[in-house]
């Protein structure tokens, strides 16, 4: 893949959201790769708490695209909208940030 | 690289921090790859504002390691501490989150 534009979600799940529900959220997010043509890959992680500046965010989700336009197609895709309606009520807070990482060779 | 543990900083620079100062912050962060043995790579990006849930964060910095222990070595390294003392006074706010992305093939 030439370019890698990341649509990253930092998420904190609400108290009371079960482990199974969180797993379902991850699974359905990953499934969007099959449902949204412009979405090329999906990665996720639990926060590791090595430092304590993570402000309560527990999970990181990365939807990966080849351009900002492709992120736009994803945002407008009904499968994404349906997924958002599933995920968002389960979140206590979130940040979404889009960026295209530049690799620096010092 | 087998594993990729990311030490990610979401940053919002203070009003009045110049473009040149921001460039210096990026350059010095990148230079830590040469100064801190456990730090394997550095990536950075400006936030693209495709969606408006980025809460004012303008930059993403990713320091990349092979393990959580290597992040610990980085945190304790004097070059990192010196750099933190250079960067932090220029930030209005920041989040630091450590995570090891899992690639999901749906």
pLDDT digits (tens, 9 = 90+) for B27-71: 999 999 999 999 999 999 999 988 889 999 999 999 999 999 999
Domain holding B18: CATH number?
3.30.70.100
Contact A46, A56 (CB under 8 A): no
In three-state form (DSSP H/G/I as H, E/B as E, the rest C), the secondary structure along chain B is CCCCEEEEEEEEECCCCCHHHHHHHHHHHHHHHHHCCCCCEEEEEEECCCCCCCCCCCEEEEEEECCHHHHHHHHHCHHHHHHHHHHHHHEEEEEEEEECCEECCC
Q: What angle do CA B63, B67, B68 make, to 5 degrees?
A: 85
The DSSP H or E segment spanning A19 is helix A19-35
Q: What is the mean pLDDT of chain B?
A: 95
DSSP label at residue A14: P
Cα A33 from Cα A37, distance rounded (Å):
7
Residue B41 in any domain: the answer is: yes
A99 with B71: Cβ contact below 8 A: no
pLDDT band at B2 (very low <50, low <70, confident <90, very high): confident
Q: In chain A, which residue's Cα lies nearest the Cα of B62?
A: A101
Residue A104 in any domain: the answer is: no
Structure tokens at A100: 């295209």
Interface of A with B in 9-68 (CB under 8 A): 10, 26-27, 30-31, 33-34, 41-51, 53-55, 57, 60, 62, 68
Q: Note down the domain range covering A95.
A: 5-99
Residue B38 in any domain: the answer is: yes
Q: What is the mean pLDDT of chain A?
A: 95
- Find chain B residues with C-beta within 8 A of A33's C-beta: 104, 106
A42 with B106: Cβ contact below 8 A: yes
Nearest to A98 among B5, B51, B98 (CB): B51
Cα B41 from Cα B56, distance rounded (Å):
26
Residue B79 in any domain: the answer is: yes
Cα A32 from Cα B93, distance rounded (Å):
32
Residue A105 in any domain: the answer is: no
Look at chain B and report how many structural domains it folds into. Answer: 1
- Mean of the pLDDT values across residues A11-19? 97
pLDDT digits (tens, 9 = 90+) for A32-70: 999 999 999 999 999 998 888 999 999 999 999 999 999
Cα B27 from Cα A29, distance rounded (Å):
35
- Percent of chain A with pLDDT strictly greater than 70: 97
Higher pLDDT, A60 or B106: A60
Residues 6+ apart with CB under 8 A from A105: none
Size of interface A-B (CB pairs under 8 A): 125
A34 with B106: Cβ contact below 8 A: yes
Contact A99, B60 (CB under 8 A): yes
Structure tokens at A105: 């060779």
Residue A39 in any domain: the answer is: yes
CA distance B6 to chain A (A): 10
Q: How many CA atoms lie within 13 A of A64 on its CB side?
A: 18
Q: In chain B, which residue's Cα lies nearest the Cα of A75?
A: B51
ipTM computed for the complex: 0.92
What local confidence, expressed as pLDDT, does residue B66 receive? 97
Residue A106 in any domain: the answer is: no
B68 with A45: Cβ contact below 8 A: no
Contact A90, A25 (CB under 8 A): yes
């Amino acid at each position: 893949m030439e370019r890698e534009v990341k649509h990253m979600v930092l998420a904190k799940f609400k108290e009371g959201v079960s482990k199974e529900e969180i797993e379902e959220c991850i699974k359905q997010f990953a499934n969007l790769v099959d449902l949204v043509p412009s979405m090329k890959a999906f990665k996720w992680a639990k926060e590791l708490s090595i430092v304590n500046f993570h402000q309560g965010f527990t999970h990181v989700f990365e939807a990966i695209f080849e351009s900002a336009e492709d992120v736009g197609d994803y945002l407008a895709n009904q499968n994404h909208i349906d997924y958002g309606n599933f995920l968002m009520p389960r979140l206590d807070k979130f940040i979404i940030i889009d960026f295209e990482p530049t690799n620096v060779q010092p």
